[in-house]
């Protein structure tokens, strides 16, 4: 199985090249890889049906507790067959649909990357590895929805899909991490084997909610469903493959996969059934109000996803088998219908059902494919859809919940109405006078091959229900709800047929009276105004607004504000522990200060105040010089003559240098408001006072350098120098001096650079 994934990646890498070289037949060439994979998976059917679980251990990151073990059981097999089988058809269809566009190479490559990701997801036993593939499907979906990248609408739709599924992905990741922490492993097989560990954990509800957050966004459950109709901005082959047949079912897959470990609780039942049922019925109704064929199909897909989630919520073996059957049926007919919609769009230039009609004569093959698909969708015998729907009906009925059954009936009814709208209206309905953008004619074989094949499969498999149930549904159900064998014998009663016929009649009546019904229910559009999509749009605008507002305040561009924030924060952070634990005040007796010391301090303070007040730069520099000189004298008093000497030299030099530079500058101006001035005064005094207090407090407690005695002792003996400071500088701590010398050299380079190198600013920047 690893080899299948690798060969898909390789195919993706070479897809642009193959597309260029193979021209017309590139789709068929590239389809060989997934087709071969599909064939391989098909050969595994008997083994898996016999109850085997094929495992390929792959080490990845054992230190993280992550492996890339691949496992194939009944559930994975169903998905793997769909992903590779429909994937192969998609490759062929995409070439026919896209034609000779230069972007086809990248589209093919992205489709193959997606295929790898989706296949990897359903084959991974490890939840983290599965998550890796999960996110890859989101990213490839982003790139594919944005295929028509010059169009702002396509970009917005791509972003919407990415953000919704990305947010869900982050939830899921947290859920997976918690599962790993609670269960002690990321391996699904081990988690399932460990029984009730997760269900009994105190973190069960958070885990469940996080996992559902991931699955519901991915599988477009209410209220996150809206990204999926939006994703119809993608080219039709992508919509058919990702947003109907495979990717959106990733959430369903993961729920099914985790159902033995997480499912079976009241919370699970309540959440999945309520969200699933609500999604199912809501989207089935909304689909009827659309006119774009792809949006109609998108909403019916959402509805189908709701059904699947609901079935998984019910969680019995029967429901699991029903879910699997419905999953297969849905993938077949929905992909076919999408492909039909693509053909119609391709050959007529529009896919608005109100403009289409009477296409059966111009496009006979497509019409046959569409009819086959829609009959399976309606669940008419002998199509496969009939058996699947019957299982679904039984599972729903077994729940004994009135609202769910009503919702299910409404959904069936709407399915008939929508099916009629999609196929009857388009192929046999009356066209309202106006001409279509293109003259309709039959599509080339690349296009009609896949819907015809998928539609026929829906019919043919209907006759092989027994083997299908035994080889695919039972093993899959065993993986979802282990222990109990599902009841797969379809026994429809006359009552059920009668009910179905009644629903069909009402549905078709609804179709016939579509215009008045739609007009009467215009209110829907008002409701949509309060819907989650608007919430998303508003949220995006709000985030941008908040981001700009916060950034404008923080990153204001004013250096003085930055300094004020930095210093004030320093005071808060460093002052808090002092206030809490008491300031290390010097003992009261130590306050003996002599007159000349006080005089110097006073001079320094006055000079500082003068610097602040004066508007003359020269006077300010001179006053700064006084502060510096006072400092040197202080050093002198306290027995550091060399320091005093150095300080004095530096002060003199900087005053002189400043003079040279500032000589020509205009006088200082007061640009601050009074409030700012007072803020700065308070802040400065606080900062200065804080550090003074800290130094004072620390110097008055005992404490001596542990280094000085060593330096004093060894300076002459080992360092061969009488001047201890010199020996420290060039020997004991020579690396420091080397660094400081480097700093000086760099400063010189900097001055040189500033004086001599001036790059003209470009007009373009």
Partner 1 sequence: MDTLLVLPILIPLATAALTLIAARALRIQRALSFAGMASLLITGVVILLHVDEHGIAVAQAGGWAAPYGITLVADRLSALLVTAAGVVGLATTVFTGFSLDRRRERASFYPLLNVLLMGVCGSFLTGDLFNLYVCFEVMLMASFVLLTLGGTRAQLEGGLKYLILNLVSSAIFLTAGGLLYRAVGTLNMADIAEQVAAYPDTGLMDTLAMLFLVAFGLKAAMFPFFFWLPASYHTPPPVVSAVFAGLLSKVGVYALLRTFTMMFTGHLAFTHTVLAVLACATMIAGVLGAVAQMEIRRILSFQIVSSIGFLILGLALMSKIALAGAVFYLLHNIVVKTNLFFLAGVIEKLRGHGDLRRLGGLWRERPVLSVLFLVSALSLAGIPPLSGFWAKLVLLRAGLEGEWYWAIGIAVVVALLTLYSMTKIWALAFWKDAPPNEFAFTGRERDVREKSARRAMLPVVALTVVTVAIGFLAGPIFEMALATAEQLLDPSQYVTAVLGGVS
Q: Which of 23, 195, 502, 551 binds partner 1 (CB under 8 A)?
A: 551
CB 78 within 8 A of CB 61: no
Single out the segment in contact with partner 1 by CB under 8 A; choices: 155-163, 227-235, 319-327, 527-535: 155-163
Residue 445 has φ and ψ, to the nearest 5°, of: -60, -35
Which lies closer to partner 1 via its Cβ, residue 467 or residue 688? 688
Single out the segment in contact with partner 1 by CB under 8 A; choices: 153-161, 292-300, 334-342, 482-490: 153-161
Number of H helices and E strands in the chain, helices first, is 34, 4
Single out the segment in contact with partner 1 by CB under 8 A; choices: 127-135, 191-199, 283-291, 373-381: 127-135
Q: Which of 69, 143, 76 is nearest to 106 (CA)?
A: 143
Strands 66-67 and 59-61: antiparallel
Decide: is 444 part of the binding site for partner 1 (CB under 8 A): no
In b/e form, how buried is each residue of 22-50, taking b as 16+ CB within 10 angstroms? eeeebbbbbbebbbebbeebeebbeebbe
Decide: is 538 part of the binding site for partner 1 (CB under 8 A): no
Q: How far is the CB of 484 from partner 1 (least distance, A)?
A: 35
Q: How far is the CB of 482 from partner 1 (least distance, A)?
A: 29
Residue 286's alpha-carbon distances to 268, 278, 291, 303, 412, in angstroms, are 27, 12, 11, 10, 14
Q: Which of 3, 464, 637, 710 binds partner 1 (CB under 8 A)?
A: 710
Decide: is 59 part of the binding site for partner 1 (CB under 8 A): yes
CB 295 within 8 A of CB 354: no
Which lies closer to partner 1 via its Cβ, residue 638 or residue 710? 710
Q: How far is the CB of 324 from partner 1 (least distance, A)?
A: 28
Bridge partners (DSSP) listed for residue 56: 70
Q: Which of 79, 97, 114, 131 binds partner 1 (CB under 8 A)?
A: 131
Bridge partners (DSSP) listed for residue 59: 67
User: How far is 320 from 325, CA to CA, in rounded Å?
Assistant: 9
Decide: is 66 part of the binding site for partner 1 (CB under 8 A): yes
* x/- track of binding to partner 1 for residues 684-703 (CB under 8 A): -------x--xx-xxx---x
Decide: is 162 part of the binding site for partner 1 (CB under 8 A): yes
Which lies closer to partner 1 via its Cβ, residue 555 or residue 590? 555
Which lies closer to partner 1 via its Cβ, residue 594 or residue 706? 706
Q: Which of 155, 358, 431, 679 binds partner 1 (CB under 8 A)?
A: 155
Q: How far is the CB of 543 from partner 1 (least distance, A)?
A: 6
Burial grade of 379 (CB within 10 A; 0-12, 13-18, 19 or more): buried
CB 185 within 8 A of CB 129: no
| Cβ contacts of 442 within 8 Å, gap of 6 or more | 347, 362, 363, 364, 365, 366, 448
Single out the segment in contact with partner 1 by CB under 8 A; choices: 138-146, 251-259, 319-327, 365-373: 138-146
Residues in 560-619 at the binding interface with partner 1, rule: CB under 8 A:
562-563, 565-567, 569-570, 573-578, 580-582, 584
| Cβ contacts of 51 within 8 Å, gap of 6 or more | 475, 478
Which lies closer to partner 1 via its Cβ, residue 569 or residue 672? 569
The DSSP output letter for 64 is: G
Question: Which residue bears the tokens 């993961």?
Answer: 254
Q: How far is the CB of 707 from partner 1 (least distance, A)?
A: 6
Q: Which of 707, 712, 723, 726 binds partner 1 (CB under 8 A)?
A: 707
In b/e form, how buried is each residue of 522-533, taking b as 16+ CB within 10 angstroms? eeeeeeeeeebb
Secondary structure of residue 761 in the 3-state scheme: coil
Which lies closer to partner 1 via its Cβ, residue 526 or residue 759? 759
Q: How far is the CB of 11 from partner 1 (least distance, A)?
A: 16
Which lies closer to partner 1 via its Cβ, residue 331 or residue 620? 620
Decide: is 757 part of the binding site for partner 1 (CB under 8 A): yes
Q: What would the DSSP string read from start to end of 432-492?
A: -SSPPSS---PPPHHHHHHHHHHHHHHHHHHHTHHHHIIIIIHHHHHHHSTTS--------
Residues in 67-106 at the binding interface with partner 1, rule: CB under 8 A:
106
Q: How far is the CB of 416 from partner 1 (least distance, A)?
A: 41
Q: How far is the CB of 12 from partner 1 (least distance, A)?
A: 12
Residues in 729-748 at the binding interface with partner 1, rule: CB under 8 A:
731-736, 738-740, 742-743, 745-747
Residues in 4-23 at the binding interface with partner 1, rule: CB under 8 A:
16
Which lies closer to partner 1 via its Cβ, residue 682 or residue 749? 749
* x/- track of binding to partner 1 for residues 219-248 (CB under 8 A): ------------------------------
Q: How far is the CB of 63 from partner 1 (least distance, A)?
A: 4
Which lies closer to partner 1 via its Cβ, residue 509 or residue 564? 564
User: How far is 141 from 584, CA to CA, in rounded Å?
Assistant: 63
Which lies closer to partner 1 via its Cβ, residue 173 or residue 611? 173
Structure-block tokens of residue 340: 């039909």
CB 328 within 8 A of CB 368: no
Residues in 166-185 at the binding interface with partner 1, rule: CB under 8 A:
166-167, 170-171, 173-174, 177-178, 180-181
Q: Which of 32, 445, 512, 546 binds partner 1 (CB under 8 A)?
A: 546
Q: What beta strand segments (E) does 36-116 contain?
A: 54-56, 59-61, 66-67, 70-72
CB 326 within 8 A of CB 245: no
Which lies closer to partner 1 via its Cβ, residue 554 or residue 612? 554
Structure-block tokens of residue 590: 């130590």
Decide: is 44 part of the binding site for partner 1 (CB under 8 A): no
Secondary structure of residue 44 in the 3-state scheme: coil
Residue 242 has φ and ψ, to the nearest 5°, of: -80, -50
């Amino acid at each position: 199985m690893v080899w299948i994934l690798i060969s898909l990646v390789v195919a993706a890498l070479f897809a642009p090249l193959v597309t260029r070289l193979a021209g017309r037949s590139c789709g068929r060439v590239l389809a060989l890889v997934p087709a071969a994979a599909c064939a391989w998976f098909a050969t595994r059917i008997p083994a898996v049906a016999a109850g085997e679980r094929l495992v390929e251990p792959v080490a990845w990151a054992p230190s993280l507790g992550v492996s890339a073990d691949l496992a194939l059981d009944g559930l994975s097999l169903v998905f793997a067959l769909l992903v590779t089988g429909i994937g192969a058809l998609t490759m062929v269809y995409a070439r026919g649909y896209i034609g000779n566009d230069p972007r086809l190479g990248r589209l093919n490559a992205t489709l193959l990357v997606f295929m790898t990701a989706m296949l990897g997801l359903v084959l991974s036993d490890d939840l983290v590895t599965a998550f890796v593939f999960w996110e890859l499907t989101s990213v490839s979906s982003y790139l594919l929805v944005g295929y028509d990248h010059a169009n702002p609408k396509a970009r917005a739709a791509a972003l919407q899909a990415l953000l919704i599924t990305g947010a869900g992905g982050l939830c899921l990741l947290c859920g997976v991490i918690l599962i790993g922490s609670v269960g002690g492993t990321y391996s699904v097989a081990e988690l399932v084997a460990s029984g009730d560990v997760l269900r009994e954990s105190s973190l069960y509800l958070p885990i469940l909610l996080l996992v559902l957050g991931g699955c519901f966004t991915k599988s477009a459950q209410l209220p996150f469903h809206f990204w999926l109709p939006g994703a119809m901005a993608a080219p039709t082959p992508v919509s058919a493959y990702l947003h109907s047949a495979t990717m959106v079912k990733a959430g369903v897959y993961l729920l099914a996969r985790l159902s033995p470990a997480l499912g079976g609780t009241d919370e699970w039942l309540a959440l999945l059934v309520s969200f699933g049922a609500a999604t199912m019925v809501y989207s089935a109704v909304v689909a009827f109000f659309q006119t774009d064929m792809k949006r109609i199909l998108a909403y019916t897909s959402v509805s189908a996803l709701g059904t699947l989630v609901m079935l998984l919520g019910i969680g019995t073996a029967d429901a699991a088998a029903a879910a699997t059957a419905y999953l297969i049926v849905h993938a077949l007919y929905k992909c076919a219908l999408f492909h039909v919609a693509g053909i119609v769009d391709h050959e007529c230039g529009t896919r608005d059902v109100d403009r289409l009609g009477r296409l059966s004569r111009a496009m006979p093959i497509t019409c046959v494919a569409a009819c086959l698909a829609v009959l399976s969708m309606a669940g008419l015998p002998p199509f496969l859809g009939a058996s699947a729907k019957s299982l679904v009906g039984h599972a729903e009925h077994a729940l004994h919940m009135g609202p769910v059954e009503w919702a299910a009936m409404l959904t069936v009814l709407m399915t008939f109405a929508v099916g009629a709208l999609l196929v009857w209206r388009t192929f046999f309905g009356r066209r309202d006078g106006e001409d279509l953008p293109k003259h309709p004619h039959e599509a080339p074989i690349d296009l009609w091959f896949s819907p015809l094949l998928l539609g026929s499969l829906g019919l043919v498999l209907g006759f092989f229900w027994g083997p299908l149930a035994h080889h695919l549904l039972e093993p899959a159900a065993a993986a979802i709800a282990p222990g109990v064998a599902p009841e797969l014998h379809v026994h429809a009663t006359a009552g059920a047929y009668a009910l179905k016929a009644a629903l069909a009649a009402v549905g078709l009546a609804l179709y016939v009276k579509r215009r008045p019904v739609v007009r009467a229910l215009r209110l829907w559009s008002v409701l949509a105004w309060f819907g989650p999509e608007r919430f998303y749009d508003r949220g995006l605008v709000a985030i941008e607004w908040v981001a700009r507002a916060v950034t404008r305040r923080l990153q204001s561009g004013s250096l003085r504000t930055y300094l004020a924030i930095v210093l004030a924060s320093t005071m808060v952070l460093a002052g808090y522990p002092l206030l809490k634990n008491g300031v290390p005040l010097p003992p009261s007796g130590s306050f003996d200060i002599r007159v000349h010391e006080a005089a110097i301090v006073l001079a320094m303070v006055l000079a500082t105040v003068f610097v602040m007040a004066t508007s003359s730069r020269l006077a300010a520099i001179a006053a700064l010089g006084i502060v510096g000189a006072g400092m040197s004298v202080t050093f002198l008093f306290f027995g550091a003559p060399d320091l005093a000497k150095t300080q004095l030299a530096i002060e003199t030099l900087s005053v002189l240098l400043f003079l040279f530079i500032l000589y020509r500058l205009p006088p200082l101006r007061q640009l601050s408001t009074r409030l700012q001035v007072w803020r700065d005064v308070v802040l400065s005094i606080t900062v200065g006072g804080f550090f003074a207090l800290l130094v004072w407090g620390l110097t008055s407690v005992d404490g001596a350098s542990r280094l000085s005695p060593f330096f004093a002792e060894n300076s002459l003996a080992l360092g061969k120098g009488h001047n201890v400071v010199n020996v420290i500088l060039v020997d004991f701590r020579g690396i420091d001096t080397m660094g400081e010398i480097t700093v000086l050299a760099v400063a010189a380079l900097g001055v040189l650079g500033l004086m001599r190198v001036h790059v003209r600013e470009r007009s373009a920047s």
